[in-house]
């Protein structure tokens, strides 16, 4: 696995162990995708696996600071596009399959219906453009690959929407949250289970239909405000901080990077081809929030 400290990388480490799969995390300082070349990636993988090559590679490393990417496009593209290409070429050199993680932000968010894999991409921010370039780099490398797009990731790890909402609720009775952005909240732990399963399928089965682009996101959908309300309800039930949600428009909360108004993903191909699906986001939200409250030293 490429990546060590991000949400998905940490979730993969936790879920792989509990599922009986061995996973080796390769990340900074041994491998920094911002400055990676093909030889460097191969050397880092060789050093990590001690001469015994991996059965599959999951690239969970990424530049994910969406707003900061607007002022650091070179860094975002170096990691998300250049780094992804280097990993793909390493996978091809090692003759092993890879899973590349991508994002719902490759879409413009201007269509009313959910986005399927075949819909036209048109990112509206640097982050989305860099991840789309990463998809292209993986495909151009000729790697034996599956590209997994996801969105609205949250987890017990690092900084994400759930941790931000809980931090704000600790000091404010009311939290303003945009209500005109719609997507599929996705537990990184649930996504990790799916990504591991896809990697195993690729390693065990050469069928072409298992490769290509797939969408993997939590079941159901929500606005940002609805997601926040569910987080506060779960926190309240766990004895943690809670707040009232004041719905606002995106225009009332300007950010450096524009977000798609709706980036709901159709995950039907993942279910049809790999036999996999993620639980409904509401079924996963409570457990993650309760864990965050518990690990913060509060609640039941």
Concerning whether 63 is annotated as a catalytic residue, the answer is: no
Report pLDDT for 22. Answer: 75
* pLDDT (average), residues 243-263: 97
What angle do helix axes 224-237 and 161-169 make, rounded to 10 degrees? 60
- Two tokens, residue 94: 């090692």
Residue ranges of alpha helices (H) inside the chain are 7-18, 38-49, 73-77, 84-94, 126-140, 161-169, 188-204, 224-237, 268-274, 281-295
H/E run at residue 260? none
> To the nearest whole percent, how much of the chain has pLDDT over 70?
96
Per-residue pLDDT tens over the stretch 75-111: 999 999 999 999 999 999 999 999 999 999 999 999 9
- Two tokens, residue 93: 């050199």
Report pLDDT for 4. Answer: 87
Assess whether pLDDT exceeds 80 at residue 17.
no
Q: Is 161 helix (H, G, I), strand (E, B) or coil?
A: helix
Residue 155 in contact with residue 218, Cβ under 8 Å? no
| Cis geometry, peptide bond prior to residue 29 (ω within 30 degrees of 0) | yes
Assess whether pLDDT exceeds 70 at residue 52.
no
- Indicate the CATH number for domain 7-295: 3.40.50.720
Where are the chain's structural domains?
Answer: 7-295
Assess whether pLDDT exceeds 80 at residue 46.
no
Per-residue pLDDT tens over the stretch 205-223: 999 999 999 999 999 999 9
Radius of gyration, CA atoms only, the chain: 19
Assess whether pLDDT exceeds 80 at residue 143.
yes
Per-residue pLDDT tens over the stretch 186-201: 999 999 999 999 999 9
Least confident of 26-40, 160-174, 253-267: 26-40
Which one is catalytic: 63, 105, 127, 154? 127
Assess whether pLDDT exceeds 80 at residue 72.
yes
| 45 — pLDDT class (breaks 50, 70, 90) | confident
CA distance linking residue 242 with residue 230, whole number of Å: 10
Least confident of 39-43, 112-116, 171-175, 194-198: 39-43
| 300 — pLDDT class (breaks 50, 70, 90) | low
Rounded to a whole number, what is the largest CA-CA distance in the chain?
56
Assess whether pLDDT exceeds 90 at residue 148.
yes
Q: Tell me how many degrees the CA angle 292-162-121 measures, rounded to the nearest 5.
A: 140
* pLDDT (average), residues 116-145: 97
Strand order in the sheet with 57-59: 57-59, 98-103, 145-150, 212-215
Q: Which residue reads 């009775």 in tokens?
A: 173
Report pLDDT for 228. Answer: 98
Report pLDDT for 50. Answer: 59
The dihedral sign for the CA sequence 51, 55, 56, 61: negative
CA distance linking residue 273 with residue 106, whole number of Å: 22
- Tell me the average pLDDT of the chain: 94
CA distance linking residue 289 with residue 218, whole number of Å: 15
| 37 — pLDDT class (breaks 50, 70, 90) | confident
Assess whether pLDDT exceeds 70 at residue 259.
yes
21 CB-near residues (< 8 Å, 6+ apart)? 196, 200
């Amino acid at each position: 696995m490429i990546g060590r400290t991000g949400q998905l990388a940490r979730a993969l480490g936790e879920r792989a162990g509990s599922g009986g799969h061995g996973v080796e995390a390769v990340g900074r300082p041994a491998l920094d995708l911002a400055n990676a070349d093909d030889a460097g990636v191969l050397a880092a993988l060789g050093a990590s696996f001690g001469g015994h090559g991996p059965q599959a590679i999951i690239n969970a490393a990424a530049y994910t600071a969406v707003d900061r990417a607007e002022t650091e496009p070179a860094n975002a593209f170096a990691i998300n596009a250049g780094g992804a290409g280097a990993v793909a070429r390493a996978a091809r050199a090692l003759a092993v399959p890879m899973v590349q993680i991508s994002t719902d932000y490759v879409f413009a968010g201007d269509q009313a219906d959910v986005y399927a894999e075949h819909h036209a991409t048109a990112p509206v921010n640097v982050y989305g453009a860099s991840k789309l370039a990463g998809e292209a780099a993986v495909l151009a490398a000729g790697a034996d690959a599956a590209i997994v797009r996801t969105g609205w990731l949250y987890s017990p790890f690092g900084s994400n929407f759930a941790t931000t909402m809980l931090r704000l609720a600790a000091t404010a009775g009311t939290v303003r949250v945009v209500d005109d952005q719609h997507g599929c909240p996705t537990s990184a732990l649930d996504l990790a289970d799916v990504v591991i399963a896809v990697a195993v399928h690729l390693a065990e089965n050469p069928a072409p239909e298992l490769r290509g682009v797939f969408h993997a996101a939590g079941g159901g959908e929500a606005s940002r405000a609805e997601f926040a309300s569910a987080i506060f309800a779960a926190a309240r039930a766990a004895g943690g901080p809670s707040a009232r949600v004041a719905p606002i428009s995106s225009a009332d909360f300007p950010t450096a990077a524009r977000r798609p108004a709706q980036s709901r993903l159709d995950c039907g191909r993942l279910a049809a081809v790999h036999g996999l699906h993620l639980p409904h986001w509401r079924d996963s939200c409570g457990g993650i929030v309760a864990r965050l409250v518990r690990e913060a030293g509060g609640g039941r």
